[in-house]
């Protein structure tokens, strides 16, 4: 098979697989060949399972020939993040502490992707415990941005974003605790969805009461993200939050831009946004207006202190989850992980509980904005993809005028997790780096954010990611 089919959308590939125009085995082989070309330079995958993938693909082809019913993703190459439990397959959480860890069970999302016919080709890189905007670490090295390998693809679902952007897989899974799907999607010029809390049962952690974490799709288009979501959504006892109103979603996603009524914030009220990011987002806003959409700039009334409170909460989360591992084997943890745990242990319970007041405040203000609008739109990330010489603590300080020099504009929407949030491509900087537009909807209303995302695709289409670059020299492929 000519590798050019790998640039097709998951939706189109699924159609061709369904009618037999493409075979699952030949598509899987093409995907594995693409991975072989891409991975030495960009390091998207930390585990490949080619024999398993080809066997699964052969079974799908055989079932199709027998006329059996097949799932909506039948034959599509897919990837799972190295944070997501997979029975019988190594899952390290990006950490040397779990270098040989093989779970006994699949996460619900892994089971449902397989049941829908997705062909798992491998697992994608993530920073240790999925808690960095830079996908790198001693366990698997540095993952690089396909638009500029000297820059990060973002984190923590950086490997998944690179795998999709470069055509290695049709769809990939990510998890999002502060923007870990949306950020890499923005930096890599693709689509990433944080669904409503519980829409896809989340069972990667030892609790059913985590209320900021989401599984979601990393995809090339809005319709591809919708296809993924429709295949895996639904309640399961592993996640109490998953008992939601049924997903109301029709495929393909259709929209009339002139009927949209949107709120717009260029900075959430407190973020220092890169001028080129702002320029591209404003150009997308004007394209929506030119297509007849109503887009009104609003003042959310949010403060930098709200984002800082969320960061404090993530420190406690890290200390609670990984503090025992720190005490037992902390010298083998990444320096960033150790620093976050140490800071989290300094936060008292009263300070942590006050976060609930922050959450209530940001929700009440957003609820008023969304009361008569389809969605809120804003930049996904405040900056373009940083260089690999940067780190997480280069961001988050205050500027001279009191604004927050943040990297992301995603995390606060995890505090109000019932609201789905989508990142779609919305332009490029002068240097060719992608810019993402974030679309935030009413609680449990994925359909609306997907419609707005589809409208953005229609009014301001963006180019696909470049072909895989030539492999970097061995001494630079795994280091910053």
Q: Indicate the SS3 state at residue 114.
A: helix
Question: For strand 119-124 and strand 77-81, is the pairing parallel, antiparallel, or unpaired?
Answer: parallel
Catalytic annotation present for 180:
yes
Q: Which tokens in the block code for residue 323?
A: 């503090």
Q: Which of 95, 157, 180, 423 is labelled catalytic?
A: 180
Cite the beta strand spans of 195-330 per DSSP E.
214-219, 261-264, 294-297
Catalytic annotation present for 81:
yes
Distinct helix (H) and strand (E) counts, the chain: 15, 15
Instruction: Calculate the alpha carbon distances from 311 to 89, 443, 447, 448 in Å.
Output: 32, 23, 29, 29
The DSSP annotation for 413-424 comes to HHHTTTS-EEEE
* 350, burial (CB in 10 Å: exposed 0-12, middle 13-18, buried 19+): exposed
Question: For strand 45-48 and strand 119-124, is the pairing parallel, antiparallel, or unpaired?
Answer: antiparallel
254, 224, 377, 431: CA torsion to nearest 10 = -120
Q: Which tokens in the block code for residue 353?
A: 């509980």
Q: Which of 95, 132, 156, 157 is labelled catalytic?
A: 156
Catalytic annotation present for 156:
yes
Q: Which residues are catalytic?
A: 81, 156, 180
């Amino acid at each position: 098979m000519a590798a050019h089919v790998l640039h097709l959308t998951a939706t189109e590939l699924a159609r061709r697989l369904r009618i037999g125009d493409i075979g699952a085995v030949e598509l899987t082989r093409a995907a594995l060949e693409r991975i072989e070309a891409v991975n030495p330079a960009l390091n998207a995958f930390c585990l490949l399972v080619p024999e398993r993938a080809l066997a699964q693909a052969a079974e799908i082809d055989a079932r199709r020939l027998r006329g059996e019913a097949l799932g909506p993703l039948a034959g599509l190459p897919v990837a799972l993040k190295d944070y997501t439990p997979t029975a019988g397959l190594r899952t390290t959480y990006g950490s040397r502490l779990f270098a040989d860890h093989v779970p006994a069970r699949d996460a619900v999302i892994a089971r449902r992707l397989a049941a829908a016919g997705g062909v798992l080709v491998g697992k994608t890189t993530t920073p240790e415990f999925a808690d960095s905007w830079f996908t790198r670490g001693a366990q698997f090295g540095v993952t690089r941005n396909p638009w500029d390998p000297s820059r990060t693809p973002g984190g923590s679902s950086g490997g998944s974003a690179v795998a999709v952007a470069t055509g290695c897989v049709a769809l990939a899974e990510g998890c999002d605790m502060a923007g870990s799907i949306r950020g890499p999607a923005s930096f890599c010029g693709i689509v990433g969805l944080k669904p409503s809390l519980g829409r896809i049962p989340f069972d990667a952690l030892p609790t059913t009461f985590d209320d900021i974490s989401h599984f979601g799709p990393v995809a090339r288009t809005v319709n591809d993200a919708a296809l993924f979501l429709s295949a895996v959504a639904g309640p399961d006892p592993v996640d109490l939050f998953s008992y939601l109103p049924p997903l109301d979603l029709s495929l393909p996603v259709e929209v009339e831009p002139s009927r949209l009524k949107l709120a717009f914030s260029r900075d959430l009220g407190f973020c220092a946004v890169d001028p080129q990011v702002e320029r591209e987002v404003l150009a997308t806003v004007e394209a929506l207006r030119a297509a007849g959409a109503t887009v009104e700039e609003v003042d959310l009334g949010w403060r930098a202190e709200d984002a800082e409170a969320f960061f404090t909460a993530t420190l406690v989360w890290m200390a609670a989850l990984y503090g025992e591992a720190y005490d037992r084997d902390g010298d083998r943890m990444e320096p960033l992980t150790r620093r976050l745990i140490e800071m989290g242990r300094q936060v008292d319970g009263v300070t942590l509980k006050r976060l609930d007041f922050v959450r209530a405040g940001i929700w009440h203000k957003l609820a008023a904005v969304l009361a008569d609008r389809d969605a809120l739109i804003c930049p996904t990330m405040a900056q373009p993809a940083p260089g690999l010489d940067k780190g997480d603590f280069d961001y988050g300080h205050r500027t001279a005028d009191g604004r927050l020099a943040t990297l992301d504009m995603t995390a606060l929407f995890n505090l109000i997790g019932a609201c789905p949030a989508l990142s779609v491509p919305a332009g490029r900087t002068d240097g060719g780096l992608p810019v993402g537009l974030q679309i935030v909807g009413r609680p449990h209303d994925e359909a609306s954010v997907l419609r707005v995302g589809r409208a953005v695709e229609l009014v301001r289409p963006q180019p696909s990611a470049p072909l895989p670059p030539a492999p970097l020299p061995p001494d630079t492929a795994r280091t910053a």
